[in-house]
Amino acid sequence: MMPPELENAIYGMLATPVLRTAEKHGVFARLIEGGPAGSEKLAGDLGLDRDTLERMMLLLTALRVLDLGDAGDFRVPAAVRPYLDRREPLFVGGFLEHLAEETSARLGRLDGYLKEGRPAEAAAPFGEVYRDEETMRAFMTAMWDLSYGASTELVTLAGLDGTARLVDVGGATGPFSVAALRAAPRLRAVVFDLPAIRPLAEETAHAHGLADRLEFAGGDFFTDELPAGDCLAFGYILSDWDDETCVELLAKAHRACTAPGRVLIMDRLFADDRTGPPATAAMNLVMHLEMAGRHRTAAEFAALLERAGFTDCEVRRSGGEKHLIVGHKNRR
Ligand SMILES: C[S@@+](CC[C@H](N)C(=O)[O-])C[C@H]1O[C@@H](n2cnc3c(N)ncnc32)[C@H](O)[C@@H]1O
């Protein structure tokens, strides 16, 4: 019999588009908000083709994303629910959309990259991600979905009570800053990101009632210096870039960091022997297709921090996929 691991790998290509399509058409929202339902009822409620819907739901059931009861009713299991519920901070819909629409369109590049390496012109990733207003908005939604839920735990791990000014480098619409400001009432934060992000970032600050404490600074972290603060955060930034660029960015952070101060790297971590976790290995390949970076082990991040002048590196693991690595400047 075929090992289940190989079977999963062979049929895995169906999982992301089926999940994304079901999410897009409100299947999970209907099951979560309206309760368990059979495919006929569900197809009627959502105006979808029953046969197609049932096949998709049977696949999701086999993948254990859905449960199927004896009466033929599908339900979303409790452990899966927060990730598929549009009202929850852990909701992954925007990230799924990114994987299904953007990442999958780039998978065809693998063959060429494998034979000839990644071409030099692929080194400026954000021009492609931000090719128009719609793709930029979609990317920001994906980043929010990927980072906001995780940030609540990361803020606790970081312990921001004694921090005065957080600089969220490449902070996007501020998933980490918003979580940080909610947890630490005396904190002020500045999101530093490309100027095009400003309207979306300001919209978010207003929507969360944080416009008085969350500021946006538009700039380019390759050509501009970073705003000053006693805590500089890099959430899913260093995984976009190669080691030399990371050291350059961290050295900028070291200059901008008032002492005593800290840098927070928040990113996926490979296990020390790089045998997993699977999501990190998958996104390591995605970084190669979409960005110019890779995922790293804790020791690799510590080495980058030391090269940039930070000391006393600490790794604080979360219960999720995004972990915290702290580097200090003039630690007391
Ligand atoms: C992968 S996203 C990470 C977003 C957020 N920090 C998080 O943890 O979800 C990378 C961010 O870096 C920003 N960025 C990319 N190049 C930049 C540059 N040259 N200067 C400033 N920000 C940049 C992007 O606009 C984007 O918001």
Separation of CA 290 and ligand 1 centre (Å):
13
- Ligand 1 site, residue 236, Cβ cutoff 6 A: yes
- Ligand 1 site, residue 194, Cβ cutoff 6 A: yes
Nearest Cα residue to atom 14 of ligand 1:
170
- Asked whether residue 239 is assigned to any structural domain, the reply reads yes
| Residues ≥6 apart with Cβ < 8 Å to 65 | 19, 76, 77, 80, 84
Of residues 161, 222, 162, the one with CA closest to residue 192? 222
CATH number at residue 35: 1.10.10.10
Q: How many domains does the chain have?
A: 2
Separation of CA 22 and ligand 1 centre (Å):
29
Separation of CA 31 and ligand 1 centre (Å):
34
Neighbours of 286 (CB within 10 A): 17
- Asked whether residue 267 is assigned to any structural domain, the reply reads yes
- Asked whether residue 245 is assigned to any structural domain, the reply reads yes
146 shares a domain with 288: yes
- Asked whether residue 214 is assigned to any structural domain, the reply reads yes
- Asked whether residue 99 is assigned to any structural domain, the reply reads no
Cβ pair 238, 267 in contact under 8 A:
yes
- Asked whether residue 103 is assigned to any structural domain, the reply reads no
Separation of CA 259 and ligand 1 centre (Å):
25
Ligand 1 atom closest to the Cα of residue 223 is 19
Pocket residue to mutate for ligand 1, from 130, 155, 221, most atoms within 8 A of Cβ: 221
- Asked whether residue 114 is assigned to any structural domain, the reply reads no
Cβ pair 74, 67 in contact under 8 A:
yes
What's the domain range around 142? 124-329
The residue whose two tokens read 């979580």 is 179
Max distance between CA atoms of the chain, in angstroms, equals 65
Written as tens digits, the pLDDT of the chain (332 aa) is 999 999 999 999 999 999 999 999 999 999 999 999 999 999 999 999 999 999 999 999 999 999 999 999 999 999 999 999 999 999 999 999 999 999 999 999 999 999 999 988 776 678 877 889 999 999 999 999 999 999 999 999 999 999 999 999 999 999 999 999 999 999 999 999 999 999 999 999 999 999 999 999 999 999 999 999 999 999 999 999 999 999 999 999 999 999 999 999 999 999 999 999 999 999 999 999 999 999 999 999 999 999 999 999 999 999 999 999 999 999 87
76 shares a domain with 128: no
State residue 140's pLDDT score.
Answer: 95
Domain ends where: 84, 99, 116? 84
209 shares a domain with 313: yes
- Asked whether residue 119 is assigned to any structural domain, the reply reads no
Rounded distance, CA 18 to CA 62, Å? 13
CATH number at residue 322: 3.40.50.150
pTM score, whole prediction: 0.94
